Amino acid sequence: MLKAEKTVVVYRSKTGFTKNYACWLAKRFNCTLLEGSKVSGKELSDYDTIIYGGGLYASGISGIKLITKNFEQLKDKRIIVFAVGASPSHKGIAEELLNTNIPREQQDKIEFFYLRGGFDYTRLSPFYRVLMQLKKIQLKKVKKPDADTKGMLASYDHPLDFTNEKHLEPIIKSLLE
């Protein structure tokens, strides 16, 4: 049985999409919600269930080191990690991201999920805006752009938001089991 006072949702979100999911989860379980940059591994060890969400940047989960670097003190906890990216979900994406972001020896102890977020160029910091302008140049060079490439290009002018509370169902189901 999940105890609200022993459960924490931690997130790192540059443009708000991961924060949406984290807020919905914390509300659903009436548990603590913390912004990851202000949290230490020691603070996390006060909880039995740790749910960590981070936005995806070049396949890296924002702030995931909070979990992986403090794994020794957290390894007896229940740990759920979710990554939030702009790409559509596809078979195998969770496994790919797990392998890229979580050391092999920690993988058995961490439940991992991928959720689709969105893309909002206007909310990016100047550094990431420059990176994304370079990406735009690449995308424009694609000879036969598929729907995702076209969607990505369009999103520079019109933000995309695929966040939906329903996408949290697999995580909620697992937490309630």
Ligand X SMILES: Cc1cc2nc3c(=O)[nH]c(=O)nc-3n(C[C@H](O)[C@H](O)[C@H](O)COP(=O)(O)O)c2cc1C
Give min distance, CB of 94 to ligand X, in A: 12
Q: Which is nearer to ligand X, 13 or 49 (CB)?
A: 13
Give min distance, CB of 106 to ligand X, in A: 21
Q: Which is nearer to ligand X, 7 or 15 (CB)?
A: 15
Q: Which is nearer to ligand X, 11 or 71 (CB)?
A: 11
Q: Which residues bind ligand X (CB under 6 A)?
A: 13-19, 55-59, 62, 84-87, 117-119, 124, 128, 131-132
Give min distance, CB of 92 to ligand X, in A: 14
Give min distance, CB of 1 to ligand X, in A: 30
Where do the DSSP E strands lie in the chain?
Answer: 7-12, 32-35, 49-57, 60-61, 78-85, 110-116, 118-119, 160-161
Q: How far is CA 133 from the centre of its chain?
A: 23
Please name the residue that has the structure tokens 């496994």: 95
Contacts of 95 (CB under 8 A, 6+ apart): none
Q: Which is nearer to ligand X, 13 or 70 (CB)?
A: 13
The full DSSP string for 51-88 is EEEEEEETTEETTTHHHHTTHHHHTTSEEEEEEEESSP
